[in-house]
């Protein structure tokens, strides 16, 4: 009993010490893990209100950490959001930061400041495991040789990645710049313009597919799944889709095991629930919602297993976890996979309007949680926080200087010590931008389609200005632009100041 008490005192004192040092804004260097999902919507977790899906492991992070109700990606699509998070620069400042093909060159300059570079300067070991989608090489890529520059050249000591997306070739893992398991006698070739002679495609050989394409995914067939882009060879290296979640999980677990003696930064970028949704057979049918629901449950399980690993390795109380998603939800994103048909009463965007590809809230506003056992007090925060702020905030935490650009130090909000987040934010969707500040969302007038091509999500593009009071109208139903001209003008002026004058008016 006595021993137990002493132990408890020791543990409590230990925790308080962590707390004290964080409070005193003295640098602290816990491990940092970013758990990043792909296309997970604001309403896809039970912690954020889902009733038809149970996500106990994500919920544990949300409920035992800070759950942000106004947490944002910088964009409503993948590449730009990841660019913003890793560089601290708004993606609309780089015109290449758009959804990339699997053959695109690296869009982060090797000279640029990045989150992992900043953490390396603070003495961290750094790693990315999972989806990359920020381009590879400099335009003359040899997939059979050293694939460079890539994550290793922008700050990651270790990188075990899938190049772009699960629906894009090459369908192989890349291990620190080399295709994992490639046999030199069977080289791999990738082309996004032209097929290789004699190779079947989703378009011409539907009889060879086990998943049917709906739009945009009718090129090379790999594992029965028609993909975007053409690929030939590399048979020994081709991944098994249904094992991908387990594969990345094994990698992150071993990473922690092998690197726990010194502070590490791990960016764990899961592929779910992006298309093609390929749950491991253990999860097939488990959600009753088809593959989209099943892979969310699979991701939840992976996160639970990973959290167990952190506990077993003894690092949980010395690890800050940031959980988020790169953009909002989409149902049909190019394959017939029952996402629409079996949705039932589930609302992937929660009460938010829009989804992936949209400037409405469900595009960039995403699940966003921070967790640090024993240091972060559980709570819910409505501070305006964005992934672009990780750079400045974590630089503050670990005590190094950073080139901050658009990144703001909101560390105390991230640690749940203050409700003060950003004052404002610019979000992006397919090159178009909108503004968020206080209770307000302002979307400039744009030319273009109000619906995103085939996915059926609203884009929020309209030929007139839109102004919504999110406190009163979270679902963005009442456009107040006409009835609140002063607010509108003020917001346009603020937006133009950051975005540039020419973007305030009607834009193509």
Distance (Å) of CA 210 to CA 283, 286, 437: 18, 20, 46
CA angle 238, 241, 246 (to 5 degrees): 105
Rule CB under 5 A: is residue 28 a binding residue for Ca ion? Answer: no
Contact 26, 379 (CB under 8 A): no
Return the one option of Ca ion, ligand NG6, none that residue 133 interacts with (CB less than 5 to 8 A, by type): ligand NG6
In which residue are the tokens 């070991």 written?
125
Residues 225-244 that bind ligand NG6 (CB under 6 A): 228
Handedness of CA 79, 135, 100, 226 (dihedral sign): negative
CB closer to Ca ion out of 201 and 327: 327
Nearest distance from C-beta of residue 414 to ligand NG6, angstroms: 24
Among 29, 133, 292, 365, binds ligand NG6 (CB under 6 A): 133
Residues 174 and 140: their CA atoms lie apart, in Å, by 17
Q: Is 389 in the site for ligand NG6 (CB under 6 A)?
A: no
- Which class for 142: exposed (0-12), middle (13-18), buried (19 or more C-beta within 10 A)? exposed
Residues 6+ apart with CB under 8 A from 14: 317, 374
Report how far residue 402's alpha carbon sits from residue 405's, in angstroms, rounded to the nearest whole number: 9
Please tell me whether residue 333 binds Ca ion under the rule CB under 5 A. no
In angstroms, the CA 356 to CA 366 distance is: 10
29 vs 133, beta carbon nearer ligand NG6: 133
Is residue 327 part of the contact set for Ca ion (CB under 5 A)? yes
Provide the mask over 91-120, with x wherever binding to ligand NG6 is found by CB under 6 A and - wherever it is not.
Answer: --------x---------------------
Using the rule CB under 6 A, which residue among 74, 103, 165, 476 binds ligand NG6? 165
| Token representation of residue 292 | 């989209």
Which residue in the shown chain puts its C-beta closest to ligand NG6?
Answer: 216
Among 30, 31, 38, 143, binds Ca ion (CB under 5 A): 38
Give the one entry of Ca ion, ligand NG6, none that residue 99 binds, where binding means its C-beta sits below a cut-off of 5 to 8 angstroms depending on kind.
Answer: ligand NG6
- In angstroms, give the least distance from the CB of 431 to ligand NG6: 13
Task: Give bridge partners of residue 172 from the DSSP assignment.
Answer: 238
- Residue 38 interacting with ligand NG6 (CB under 6 A): yes
Residue 373 partner contact from ligand NG6, Ca ion, none using kind-dependent CB cut-offs of 5 to 8 Å = none
| Span interacting with ligand NG6, options 24-32, 286-294, 327-335, 396-404, rule CB under 6 A | 327-335
The single residue among 77, 176, 218, 466 that binds ligand NG6, judged by CB under 6 A, is: 77
Of residues 446-475, those binding ligand NG6 (CB under 6 A): 454
Q: Choose between 81 and 209: whose C-beta lies nearer to Ca ion.
A: 81
* Long-range CB contacts for residues 491-498, cutoff 8 Å, separation at least 24: 491/435, 491/437, 491/440, 491/442, 491/467, 492/442, 492/444, 492/465, 494/424, 494/435, 494/437, 495/426, 495/433, 495/435, 495/442, 495/444, 498/424, 498/426
> 127 with 159: CB under 8 angstroms?
yes
Q: Is 428 in the site for Ca ion (CB under 5 A)?
A: no
Q: Which is nearer to ligand NG6, 77 or 433 (CB)?
A: 77
Q: Which does 494 bind (CB under 5 to 8 A by kind): ligand NG6, Ca ion, none?
A: none
Interaction between residue 275 and ligand NG6 (CB under 6 A) = yes
* Least distance in angstroms from the C-beta of 320 to ligand NG6: 25
Residue 82 token pair: 């990841």
Residues 63, 46: Cα–Cα separation, whole Å: 11
Three-class SS state of 167 = coil
Report the nearest approach of ligand NG6 to the CB of residue 504 (Å): 27
Nearer to ligand NG6, 275 or 289 (CB): 275
The structure tokens listed for 23 are 């409070």
Q: Which stretch binds ligand NG6 (CB under 6 A): 114-122, 281-289, 326-334, 443-451?
A: 326-334
How far is CA 161 from its chain centroid?
14
Binding site for ligand NG6 (CB under 6 A): 38-39, 77-78, 99, 133, 165, 167, 215-216, 228, 274-275, 327, 333-334, 454
Given the rule CB under 5 A, which residues bind Ca ion?
38-39, 78, 326-327
């Amino acid at each position: 009993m006595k021993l137990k008490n002493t132990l408890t005192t020791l543990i409590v004192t230990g925790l308080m010490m962590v707390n004290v040092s964080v409070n005193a804004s003295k640098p602290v260097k816990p491990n940092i893990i970013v758990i990043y999902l792909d296309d997970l919507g604001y309403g896809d977790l039970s912690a954020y209100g889902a009733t038809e899906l149970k996500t106990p492991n994500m919920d544990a992070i949300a409920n035992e950490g800070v759950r942000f109700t106004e947490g944002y990606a910088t964009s409503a699509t993948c590449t730009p959001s990841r660019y913003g998070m890793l560089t601290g620069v708004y993606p609309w400042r780089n015109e290449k930061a758009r959804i990339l093909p699997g053959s695109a060159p690296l869009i982060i300059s090797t000279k640029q400041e990045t989150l992992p570079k900043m953490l390396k300067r603070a003495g961290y070991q750094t790693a990315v495991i999972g989806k990359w989608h920020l381009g590879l090489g400099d335009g003359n890529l040899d997939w059979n040789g050293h694939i460079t520059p890539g994550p290793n050249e922008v700050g990651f000591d270790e990188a075990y990645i899938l190049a772009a997306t699960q629906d894009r070739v090459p369908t192989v893992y890349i291990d620190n710049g080399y295709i994992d398991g490639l046999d030199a006698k069977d080289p791999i070739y990738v082309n996004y313009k032209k097929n290789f002679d004699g190779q079947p495609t989703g378009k011409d050989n539907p009889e060879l597919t086990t998943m049917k394409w709906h739009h945009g995914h009718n090129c090379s067939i790999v594992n029965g799944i028609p993909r975007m882009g053409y690929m030939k060879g590399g048979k020994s290296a081709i991944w098994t889709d249904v094992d991908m979640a387990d594969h990345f999980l094994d990698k992150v677990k071993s990473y922690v095991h092998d690197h726990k003696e010194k502070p590490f930064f791990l960016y764990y970028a899961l592929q779910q629930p992006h298309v093609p949704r390929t749950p491991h057979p253990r999860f097939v049918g488990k959600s009753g919602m088809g593959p989209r629901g099943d892979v969310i449950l699979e991701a939840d399980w992976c996160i639970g297993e990973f959290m167990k690993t952190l506990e077993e390795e003894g690092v949980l109380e010395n690890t800050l976890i940031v959980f988020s998603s790169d953009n909002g939800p989409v149902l049909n994103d190019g394959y017939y996979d029952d996402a629409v048909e079996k949705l039932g009463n589930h609302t992937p965007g929660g009460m938010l309007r829009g989804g992936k590809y949209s400037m409405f809230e469900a595009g960039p506003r995403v699940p966003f949680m921070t967790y640090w056992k024993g240091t972060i007090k559980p709570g819910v925060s409505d501070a305006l926080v964005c992934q672009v702020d990780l750079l400045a905030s974590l630089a503050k935490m670990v005590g190094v200087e950073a080139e901050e650009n658009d990144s703001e130090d909101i560390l105390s909000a991230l640690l749940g010590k203050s409700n003060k987040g950003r004052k404002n934010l610019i979000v992006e969707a397919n090159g178009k931008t909108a503004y968020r500040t206080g209770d307000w969302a302002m979307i400039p007038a744009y030319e273009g389609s109000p619906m995103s091509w085939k996915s059926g999500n609203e884009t929020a593009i309209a030929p007139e200005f839109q102004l919504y009071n999110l406190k009163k109208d979270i679902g963005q139903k009442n456009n107040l632009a006409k009835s609140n001209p002063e607010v509108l003008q003020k917001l346009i002026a603020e937006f133009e100041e950051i975005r540039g004058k020419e973007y305030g008016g009607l834009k193509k």
